[in-house]
A and B are shown apart, each in its own frame.
Chain A
């Protein structure tokens, strides 16, 4: 059974078990490795991608639910949002090991589409689904604010 969806603006097909989580379709079949596997249970946010523009945990969302929809990873973020976030992440040298950061940026992108100028409290709460074991949180907060400023 094939599932058809759009990945970063391109039409793609997946032939296989429709219960396969989006994460593994992206990583193991389509070679898109920016979403990471962290917990497999929607607890850590490392696998965050957008489904029709909203952040989801791709480790626990089956590919069948992407049928006919649009999946966006870091690579496919609109150039304006993606660049603002990446520039801000670079400006503050946010990553340590870096493993969770693509997921962090996808959650940040989701936040910035819902809220143009989030305050510290809003950033902290919105980003609390994404765990960083290196403890880069305060830099993430600064970078989200900077990206928001640039997009304003």
Chain B
């Protein structure tokens, strides 16, 4: 992993990082946590780099360069800096970063929050940045007191010397800022962690969220702005040909109506007026190439794709070998299109004026936002500022850039600052959907009772081919193979192929991406193989996991914690590795219920070193419920190019009285941190289908589970 953080904080560096600093200060005005800082003279930072600002009065601000959408980056990333700065979290303030090259996510190649990478990517980087700054603070103290650095200790915001001398980090900051930062400072051993991994650690953003003071995109206010509601073509990809706003302009509160590339925006004093005005627009649409699209057509084209060879992802042994005495099994699995359905519908604020463009909103991909806003506003990228608010849920939807472009286009056309807010209906009908997928798997259970051969083919649209086409080569989409090129099972003859099928509605990265697609197919299939082998599904899995001690351990602990009993007709099991985290899920059905009812879900993960244990469990729990909603109830269908679901009534989310008992356990580990934000999602659906199969004999091969 590249280290972006250790730089000499000299004058030249300040100039280079100027954009970042300006941007964070601007954001500071909008985020209450940051704005609580006083503005006295001692408050101006004496030491400042991309991650850390220390003022003479010892106010210490740590910068969070990933978007906070519930996954706790607002605490867990500053915690990495604080650990090496020897600072309790109570002593720090946090600010959201602006957009700058230094904030690029090395695992994803852009300033992106996604792929469960935040902690994984930052773990060494931010600890190194913290340690480097601590080193110069100690050096500054040693120089001042003319003593050796070995005799000085940095702790709790102060450097102390054996003689009793002491100075706060703030008092040392100006001197420390003149010193060169070491490139490879020694990092603490985990045994000495004082912040990381502590059960008592609390979220720094809870108080503002609980007081209703956290600023989400929808809460942004720019002086003089209008609220915009955008009419978009009911068929995604369609564009307006002409429109008549005569009636709209008569609606009380409507200010103006403007056309942008993919819609007609009504600007008003409040959202109700904007929406009411929009409903009276008469628009002629060019519906475009998707006008006749239906989900049945997409499904048919995926099925046709099964006959294509596709890209080979994995080829081990010989899948075509004649295995005498083997039992051949074949199955096909289907997953529907899904919407993200964040609580906070898509929105963005923009102010295009005087050759500049200011964007404020719930954004997961800042650099992309800067680029599309620049193009839409007709300004240079460096004249675009991106201010990231709290996100009312992301799940991958706010990685997209459509809403940022639209807000910039509206502000430019209307010549005024604007907050564009989509309705929930806009949000569900104009999403970038999780791809529909079909998986065909053939396998052989050998005379040893194990899965000796498996041939898995996945057919779906490629999100990456749309979003980052340069990353798809020879039919290989690196995100389509998640959950299939990292199988934990020891299968001597294995072939995994992917076929990219183009037909369909636009697709996007959806929490856990292809892990959820492939895990449903593979983990269902492994259960079918266990049945063919006449083996208990847990025993069958464990016999193929002997070379994977971490996978073996999570499954064994899940068995123990869940009270799993072989032969009992109520448990379903699934396990996988995703985002460098090993997980097992055992789901128990409520056999007393007349229809499918989940009684309890036991989930065990080994995610290496855990930064924030309480929130690690919260993330896994949340992922499980997100996956359960999808498995039980969610499906996007298309007719005449129009998405047919549009709100929580027909695209439901699990509610409080539907939640089963959930037990999450983390295995203590010293491995490098694994991801957590998406890990809970993929195993629920296969565990549920597997439980239904043992309970009823009915094998579910299509989602959602309609029983």
A residues contacting B by CB (< 8 A) are: 16-17, 19-21, 24-25, 27-29, 31, 33-34, 36-41, 43-44, 46, 73-75, 86, 89-90, 93-102, 105, 123-125, 127-141
Residues 637-668 of chain B, each 1 if its beta carbon lies under 8 Å from chain A, else 0: 00000000001110001111111001000000
Decide: A135 near B622, CB < 8 A? Known: A95-B206, A124-B656: yes
Residues in chain A near residue B343, CB distance under 8 A: 36, 38, 44, 46, 97, 99-100, 131-134
Decide: A40 near B393, CB < 8 A? Known: A20-B273, A95-B210: no
A135 and B654 within 8 A (CB)? yes
Chain A to chain B contacts (Cβ below 8 Å), 8 pairs? A34-B213, A37-B218, A89-B210, A101-B210, A128-B658, A137-B656, A139-B618, A140-B656
Option from A39, A93, A123, A131 in Cβ contact (under 8 Å) with B618: A93
Question: Bound state CA distance, A73 and B211, in angstroms?
Answer: 11
Question: Bound state CA distance, A40 and B621, in angstroms?
Answer: 27
Residue B105 at the chain A interface, CB threshold 8 Å: no
Mark the stretch among B3-11, B264-272, B463-471, B685-693 that contacts chain A: B264-272
Question: Bound state CA distance, A145 and B625, in angstroms?
Answer: 22
B393 and A99 within 8 A (CB)? yes
Chain B residue at minimum C-beta to C-beta distance from A100: B343
Option from B253, B345, B619 in Cβ contact (under 8 Å) with A17: B253
B649 and A41 within 8 A (CB)? yes
A97 and B212 within 8 A (CB)? no
Give the distance to chain A from B558, nearest Cβ to Cβ, in Å: 19
Question: Bound state CA distance, A99 and B622, in angstroms?
Answer: 14
Residues in chain B near residue A141, CB distance under 8 A: 656
A133 and B393 within 8 A (CB)? yes
Decide: A96 near B71, CB < 8 A? Known: A17-B253, A125-B657, A128-B657: yes
Residues 195-232 of chain B, each 1 if its beta carbon lies under 8 Å from chain A, else 0: 00000001101110111111110110100000100000
Chain A residue at minimum C-beta to C-beta distance from B212: A34
Question: Bound state CA distance, A37 and B657, in angstroms?
Answer: 22
Chain B residue at minimum C-beta to C-beta distance from A14: B270
Option from B213, B215, B655, B659 in Cβ contact (under 8 Å) with A138: B659
Option from A33, A125, A129, A134 in Cβ contact (under 8 Å) with B622: A134
Decide: A99 near B344, CB < 8 A? Known: A20-B270, A36-B392, A135-B622: yes
Option from B393, B615, B653, B656 in Cβ contact (under 8 Å) with A97: B393
B390 and A98 within 8 A (CB)? yes
Chain A residue at minimum C-beta to C-beta distance from B394: A97
Residues in chain B near residue A17, CB distance under 8 A: 252-253, 272-273, 276
Residue B520 at the chain A interface, CB threshold 8 Å: no
B69 and A97 within 8 A (CB)? yes
Give the distance to chain B from A33, nearest Cβ to Cβ, in Å: 4
Residues 272-296 of chain B, each 1 if its beta carbon lies under 8 Å from chain A, else 0: 1100100000000000000000000
A41 and B424 within 8 A (CB)? yes
Give the distance to chain A from B492, nearest Cβ to Cβ, in Å: 39
Give the distance to chain B from A125, nearest Cβ to Cβ, in Å: 5
A131 and B622 within 8 A (CB)? no
User: Lowest 8 A-B CB distances belong to which pairs?
Assistant: A34-B212, A99-B392, A98-B209, A135-B625, A96-B70, A97-B70, A28-B270, A135-B622
Residues in chain A near residue B218, CB distance under 8 A: 33, 36-37
A90 and B210 within 8 A (CB)? yes
Residues in chain B near residue A131, CB distance under 8 A: 343, 648, 653, 655
Question: Bound state CA distance, A132 and B86, in angstroms?
Answer: 36
Residue B421 at the chain A interface, CB threshold 8 Å: yes
Chain B residue at minimum C-beta to C-beta distance from A102: B212
Residues in chain B near residue A130, CB distance under 8 A: 656
B659 and A137 within 8 A (CB)? yes
Residue B156 at the chain A interface, CB threshold 8 Å: no
Residue B342 at the chain A interface, CB threshold 8 Å: yes
Give the distance to chain A from B200, nearest Cβ to Cβ, in Å: 11
Residues in chain A near residue B390, CB distance under 8 A: 97-99
Residues in chain A near residue B215, CB distance under 8 A: 33
Chain B residue at minimum C-beta to C-beta distance from A106: B212
Question: Bound state CA distance, A105 and B211, in angstroms?
Answer: 10
Question: Bound state CA distance, A19 and B253, in angstroms?
Answer: 12
B271 and A37 within 8 A (CB)? yes
Residues in chain B near residue A44, CB distance under 8 A: 343, 648, 653
Residues in chain B near residue A34, CB distance under 8 A: 212-213
A101 and B209 within 8 A (CB)? yes
A37 and B212 within 8 A (CB)? no
B657 and A43 within 8 A (CB)? no
B622 and A31 within 8 A (CB)? no
Residue B142 at the chain A interface, CB threshold 8 Å: no
Chain B residue at minimum C-beta to C-beta distance from A89: B210
Give the distance to chain B from A35, nearest Cβ to Cβ, in Å: 8
Decide: A37 near B70, CB < 8 A? Known: A16-B270, A128-B655, A141-B656: no
Chain B residue at minimum C-beta to C-beta distance from A127: B656
Question: Bound state CA distance, A43 and B645, in angstroms?
Answer: 14
Give the distance to chain B from A80, nearest Cβ to Cβ, in Å: 16
Residue B502 at the chain A interface, CB threshold 8 Å: no
B210 and A135 within 8 A (CB)? no
